[in-house]
Amino acid sequence: MTSLDHLVLVSALTLALMLLFGRMRIAGRLAVVLYAVQFLLLMQTGALLGEPVASSLTLSVLDLQMHWRYDALSWFFAMITIGAGFFCAWYAAGVWQERYREEGHSPRLFHVALAANVLTMLILLGSGDLLSLFIGWELVSWASFLLMAVGGGPAGRAALRYLVYAFSGGMAILAGLMLIYTQTGSLDYARVLSLLGELSDGQVWLLLLLIGGGFAVKMGLLPFHLWQAAAYAETPGPGSSFLGAISARMGLYALIMLLVAMLGIGRLTAMEVPFTFLSARDLIAWIAALTVIIPTYIALQQHDARYLLAWHGIGQGGYMLLGLMVGNAVGSAGGLFHVFTYGITQAALLMAVFAVVHRTGTADLNKLGGLVARMPLTFLVLLFGIISLAGLPPMAGFVSKWMVYRSLVAEGMPLLFVAAVVGTLGTILSVYKLIHNIFLGQLRIEHEQVREAPLSMLLPMLGLSTLIFLVGVTPGPALSWVAAVQASLGLPPVPYTLGGIEDPRGGLDMLWLVGILMAGFGVGALIFFGLGGRSKRVHQLDNYAGGHFLTADVRYQYSDNFYAGLMHLIGPWYRGAFLWLEKALTATVAFLSAVMNGFYRYAQPALFVLATAVALLALTTA
Amino acid sequence: MIELILMPLAAFVIGLAMVLMMRRIGARLQRRVGPPLLQPLWDIIKLHGKETQTSHGLIHELGIVMAIGGFVAAVTLMPLPGMNGLAEQGGLIALVYMMMIPSLGLALGVGQCANPNGSIGISRALTAMLAYDIPMVIVVFGVAFFYGSTSLVQIIDAQQAGGFATWGIAEMPLLAFAGLFAMQAMLGKQPFEIYVAPAEIATGPMVEMGGKFLGGLFIMQCFQLYAAGALYTLLFLGGGENWLTFLIKVFAVVAIPMSIAFLFPRYRTEDVVRLVWKWPAMIGLLGIAFLMY
């Protein structure tokens, strides 16, 4: 038994215990403890800095050996996965679970789904060959589907849509694996790696299209992004947090395996896109950049807080891939680091939003407002989160985005740089709308008695917020993990310090920056509170504007179509082209299936079977 | 350490003088006399001393603290003659993002006032930020790429190495022009001042800001004027060889948008976006194209 076996066994045990005892009130707390144990066991594997840890389990199917192992990359993603599981289970363990039960849902199903997600992700991250990767991939897809579908209603529909995408992606990956197998005669990483160099450019393009496309579905890369927002947003609270924090990153993990570990940035740079001046690397970087921009500006139009954040989640994935495609030490580190900083940020943000839903019953941004005085700590969590998501100092998200920007400057990629900043600015606009429409502005009269979120939900939120701030001030420890991952992938490791990045041509030291920012706030507070007359605080509902008293029964919150001026200009640019494409595809498939159905029913069935068999034979022998 | 206290202080004093200059320019163009030397300072003292100080809650107050604090921190990232402050610890990119903190603080503060007109003002202000920051970052990218560094200290050293011929404005005139254009919008001066709406009492972000709230924003404006002038000087005019040339440069830079401001009416917010995305952004990209090829 190796330390990896222990980890996976405890994860499986978590799943089993949730199946058995998920009904009981203690189940939530039990899950928290079990995730904590998993976290400790992961630390014990030492896969980050030491040698990769293998599992003692190997299977052989036909002549293919399947095995599992953890290296630094697996460790890094597993750490975020288990961490997200831990915080989300904690959030669910107390009042949330009771409310969930009262609403007629099954907490057992939820706990099982969460545990199944963590387990399958750990299995996927440990895959030691392409076959185990594919099996892990399918397991993760089914587990995600389970978690998405437990909500029922719109969640079920969104989950089914996901399933269609995931199936198509899975089939594409399978086809890609066939291609690899027929060319190299093996699905083992080492064998494939040594023979991959001999493939022609055309074959590599096909691989990129099939396998890369399949993995991109999970990550929500353009043009496969449509399923994700609804599927993640409609999942019950902590489940949504978990999916938002890490689930889509499994796609990134697999893409890193394909693009960085197996093909290598060098190969991608050498491959020209026919009839253009772009290389494959540029093409992928631009897909990433468009994945930043388009979903971010779709998020700007949302009026449901959950959907808004879920759309941003898709957009932030673009930064990760963009940083990796830049490929230098700082850029690839920025991309990897963003997985971590974004994960903690998104988890905290969604938890805060669901805490508001827990208290008010709605996430509709047009039906909230002025809650800051009612739920001040939740406001604080959301504030820390949006600063980090928008990538402003002093939070964690700033450091990882800074690294991506810095690498784009160093490599001289102006248009990608501008695209990245356009995404960031859109994020700032959108998250301000989020915090304004929930917490600022007019308090609705029916929310006058709303109380702060319950402690059992508040503590994990505050824990994550503290983490967001601490990682922002001292990114060094987290960057040391990233540097180890880079080393294991054969990328140049990032030169980090405790406070940030060391670079003779312009580095970053967050210790100083945060220090001076806090000192600046101190000076500001001194000027504001120290000098001048005492301010008199008026009641939150005592307002006056434009010559009228604004009484509480009149709704005047400025919330709908918040950026009316901007939408006046860019509104016509939203054409729903991808939605149209999806609909066209669906309609085509439906039409084809109707044709086949008709053919089968009204023509001779025997003839049909014969024709199909002949066609298949012709295909296989050709 | 002493630099870190002196730099914000110098920024504040210079900023006060810039406010005075702005008012004097306006008066000269409109054939008035203009305010006396210490008027900006008296204004701040007067606003802080007001008896009626209406607060709409803690975030309203903390918003002002953030607005001042963000700039106090940001100016320490801009090297002055003989003082590097924190320029080595956080470069150009960190500076650009640090300068967004005050806007965020102001936005939060206004948001809590529960005045729909204030919220509309913020929606316009953020839209305008989306407009002018794009040419701004194009300019920042161009300069950082040209000098191969995001450290302002190195950018200044490279510019001072060969006199005027190596200044940013001589090496990258297109970017310098785009930067000036973006700065006009960044300062919220005419024709781009609709989001500040200083002429309308009942609209715009300032609607609930009275007394020391307005006083705090006055201080923020001093820092903002200084920061814009200093940033432009550092990127394109070779920074300050000594205090005298530095002061001449920053005041000259700020005088340009001021003079333009008093000659123009205003644009609607979405027209600002259209205009700024078209001209300075395109000119900036053209400038980068010249640098790279």
Asked if residue A231 has pLDDT above 80, the reply is yes
Cα separation, B58 vs A192, whole angstroms: 61
- The predicted model scores a pTM of 0.93
For residue B265, pLDDT over 90 is answered with no
Distance CA B289, CA B293 (A): 6
Integer Cα distance of A92 and A89 in angstroms: 5
pLDDT in the model for residue B201? 60
Strands B54-55 and A536-537: parallel
Q: What is the DSSP letter of A367?
A: S
DSSP state, residue A224: S
Q: Is residue B173 predicted with pLDDT exceeding 80?
A: yes
Give the distance from CA B231 to its chain's centroid.
Answer: 8
Q: What is the pLDDT of residue B262?
A: 81
Residue from the list B61, B145, B219 with its beta carbon closest to the beta carbon of A412:
B145
Cβ of A565 within 8 Å of Cβ of B127? The answer is yes
pLDDT at res. B202: 65
Mean pLDDT calculated for residue range A564-572: 88
- Choose, out of A528, A559, A568, the residue to mutate when testing the contact with B (most B CBs < 10 Å): A528
Lowest mean pLDDT among A177-191, A512-526, A580-594, B200-214: B200-214
Interface test with B, best of A406, A513, A526, A540 (most B CBs within 10 A): A513
CB contact under 8 A, A535 and B54: yes
Tell me the pLDDT of chain A averaged across its residues. Answer: 90
CA A149 to chain centre: 18
- Confidence tier at A146 by pLDDT (50, 70, 90): very high
Give a three-class secondary structure readout of A132-175: HHHHHHHHHHHHHHHHHHCCCCHHHHHHHHHHHHHHHHHHHHHH
φ, ψ at A54 (rounded to 5°): -100, 155
Average pLDDT over residues A259-279: 84
C-alpha distances in Å from residue A189, one per residue of A125, A183, A216, A607: 14, 14, 20, 44
Q: Which residues of A touch B11 (CB under 8 A)?
A: none
Lowest mean pLDDT among A125-134, A261-270, B196-205: B196-205
At residue B81 the predicted structure's pLDDT band, cuts being 50, 70 and 90, is confident
Three-state SS for B172-211 is: CHHHHHHHHHHHHHHCCCCCCCCCCCCCCCCCCHHHHCCH
pLDDT tens digits along A54-105: 888 888 877 778 889 898 999 999 999 999 999 999 999 989 999 999 998 9
Conformation bin of residue A450: beta by default, left when phi > 0, alpha when psi is -120 to 50: beta
- Minimal-distance CA residue of chain B relative to A536: B54
The torsion of the CA quartet A63, A69, A73, A75, rounded to 10 degrees, works out to 150
The DSSP-derived string for A391-453 is: T-TTSHHHHHHHHHHHHHHHTT-HHHHHHHHHHHHHHHHHHHHHHHHHHSSPPPGGGTT--PP
DSSP 8-state class, residue A209 = I
Query: Which pair of tokens denotes residue A411?
Result: 């490599």
Report pLDDT for A275.
Answer: 80
Is A276 exposed, middle or buried, given 0-12, 13-18 or 19+ CB atoms closer than 10 A?
Answer: exposed
The pLDDT assigned to B26 comes to 86
pLDDT average, residue stretch B267-273: 81
**Chain A: closest CA distance from residue B67 (Å):** 8
Q: Quick one: pLDDT at residue A550?
A: 76
* Residue B85 phi, psi dihedral angles, 5° rounding: 55, -130
CA distance A413 to A424: 17
The Cα B191–Cα B180 span in angstroms is 14
Omega prior to A493 cis, within 30 of 0: no
Closest CA of chain B from A382, distance in Å: 12
Whether residue B107 lies within 8 A of chain A, CB to CB, comes out as yes
Residue A50 has pLDDT above 80, yes or no: no
DSSP state of A527: I
Which structure tokens are listed for B74?
A: 């940001």
Alpha helices in A440-531 (DSSP H): 455-473, 476-489, 510-525
pLDDT of A142 reads 93
pLDDT digits over A580-591, tens only?
999 999 999 999
Reported as a pLDDT band with limits 50, 70 and 90, residue B54 is confident
Q: Phi, psi (5° rounding) for residue A21? A: -115, 10
| Min Cα separation A529/chain B (Å) | 9
The one-letter code for the residue type at A618 is A
Sort out which chain B residues have CB atoms less than 8 A from A326's CB and list them.
none
Highest mean pLDDT among A17-31, A337-351, B234-248 belongs to A337-351
Interatomic CA distance for residues A436 and A450, integer angstroms: 17
Both tokens of A585, joined, read 């595809």
The string over A382-413, giving b where at least 16 C-beta atoms fall within 10 Å of a residue's C-beta and e elsewhere, is bbbbbbbbbbbbbbbbbbbbbbbbbbbbbebb
User: How far is A136 from A327, CA to CA, in rounded Å?
Assistant: 27
Query: Is B108 within 8 Å of A391 when comparing Cβ atoms?
Result: no
Average pLDDT over residues B114-138: 90
Domain boundaries, chain B: 2-292
Q: What is the dihedral of CA A7, A9, A14, A17, to 10 degrees?
A: -160
pLDDT for A603? 67
pLDDT at A172: 93
**Nearest chain B alpha carbon to A444:** B114
Q: For residue B251, give every residue at least 6 positions away whose Cβ sits within 8 Å of its Cβ, in sequence order, or none.
A: B17, B18, B21, B229
Cα distance between residue A406 and residue B91, in whole Å: 10
Quote the CA–CA distance of B126 and A426 in Å, as a whole number: 10
- Whether residue A519 and residue B72 make contact (CB cut-off 8 A), yes or no, is yes
What is the side-by-side order of every strand in the sheet holding A500-501?
Answer: A496-497, A500-501, A508-509
* Chain mean pLDDT for chain B: 88
How far is the alpha carbon of B124 from chain A, nearest alpha carbon, in Å? 7
Q: Place A458 in a pLDDT band, splitting at 50, 70 and 90.
A: very high
In angstroms, what CA-CA distances link B103 with A43, A93, B110, B129? 42, 38, 11, 9
At residue B168, the pLDDT reads 87
**Closest Cα of chain B to A429: distance in Å?**
6
Q: Residue A473 has which token pair?
A: 């001030």
Chain B contacts in chain A segment 493-522 (CB below 8 A): 499, 505-509, 511-513, 516-517, 519-522
Q: What is the pLDDT of residue A577?
A: 87
Local structure of residue A69 (DSSP, 8 states): E
pLDDT over 90, % of chain B: 46
Q: Do A563 and B129 touch (CB under 8 A)?
A: no
Yes or no, beta carbons of B53 and A536 under 8 Å apart: yes
Q: Which of A96-105, A477-486, A594-603 has the lowest mean pLDDT?
A: A594-603
Of A418, A562, A564, the CB nearest to B138: A418
* pLDDT reading at A544 higher than 80: no
Q: Which of residues 23 through 62 in chain B touch A, CB cutoff 8 A?
A: 47-57, 59, 61
The beta-carbon neighbor of A524 closest among B65, B120, B292 is B65
What residues of chain A lie within 8 A of the CB of B112, using their CB? Answer: 372, 440-441
Let me know how long chain B is.
293
Exposed, middle or buried: residue B81 (CB in 10 Å: 0-12, 13-18, 19+)? middle
Strand partners, A53: A70
The answer to whether B115 faces chain A, any CB pair under 8 Å, is yes
Residue A492 structure tokens: 């140049």
Q: Are A345 and A388 in contact (CB under 8 A)?
A: yes
What average pLDDT does range A384-409 have in this prediction? 93
Distance from B49 to chain A by nearest Cα, in Å?
5
Amino acid at A313: G
Confidence of residue A376 (pLDDT cuts 50, 70, 90): very high
**Cβ contact, residue pair A418, B273, below 8 Å:** no
| Torsion of the alpha carbons at A151, A155, A159 and A161, rounded to the nearest 10 | 170
How would you label A565-604 residue by residue, b for 16+ Cβ within 10 Å and e otherwise? bbbbbbeeeeeeeeeeebeeeeeeeeeeeeeeeeeeeeee
Is the per-residue pLDDT at A378 higher than 90? Answer: yes
Whether A110 and chain B come into contact, CB under 8 Å, resolves to no
Q: Does B127 touch chain A (CB under 8 A)?
A: yes
The pair of three-digit structure tokens given for residue A356, joined into one six-digit string: 């508001």
User: Which residues 543-562 on chain A approach chain B with CB closer than 8 angstroms?
Assistant: 543, 545-547, 550, 556-558, 562
User: In whole angstroms, what is the distance from residue B49 CA to residue B214 CA?
Assistant: 11
Distance from CA of B107 to the nearest CA of A (A): 8
Higher pLDDT, B150 or B265: B150
For chain B, the DSSP string reads -HHHHHHHHHHHHHHHHHHHHHHHHHHHHTT-----TTHHHHHHHHHHH-S--EE--HHHHHHHHHHHHHHHHHHTTS-BTTB-TTTTTB-HHHHHHHTTHHHHHHHHHHHHT--HHHHHHHHHHHHHHHHHHHHHHHHHHHHHHHHT-S-HHHHHHHHHTTGGGGSHHHH-HHHHHHHHHHHHHHTT-TTS-TTT-TT-TTSSGGGG--HHHHHHHHHHHHHHHHHHHHHHHHHHS---SSHHHHHHHHHHHHHHHHHHHTT-----HHHHHHHHHHHHHHHHHHHHHHHH-
Closest partner residue to B65 (CB to CB) among A373, A525, A534 is A525
- Other CB atoms within a 10 A radius of the CB of residue A37 amount to 18
What three-state secondary structure class fits A230? helix
| Nearest one of A395, A383, A374, A329 to A352, comparing CA atoms | A383
Q: Which two tokens stand for residue A311?
A: 């759309």
**Nearest C-alpha neighbor of A358 from the set A306, A309, A310:** A306
Query: Which residue from A421, A430, A511, A524 is spatially nearest to A469, judged by alpha carbons?
Result: A511
Give the pLDDT confidence score for residue B199 in this predicted structure.
Answer: 67
- Do B203 and B197 form a contact (C-beta atoms < 8 A)? yes
Count of A-B CB contacts under 8 Å: 257
State mean pLDDT over A142-167: 91
Q: Pick from B66, B91, B79: which is nearest to B4 by CA?
A: B79
Q: How confident is the model at residue A198 (pLDDT cuts 50, 70, 90)?
A: confident
3-state secondary structure of A370: coil
Q: What are the chain A neighbours of B55 within 8 Å (beta carbons)?
A: 535-538
Beta bridge partners of A508: A501, B90
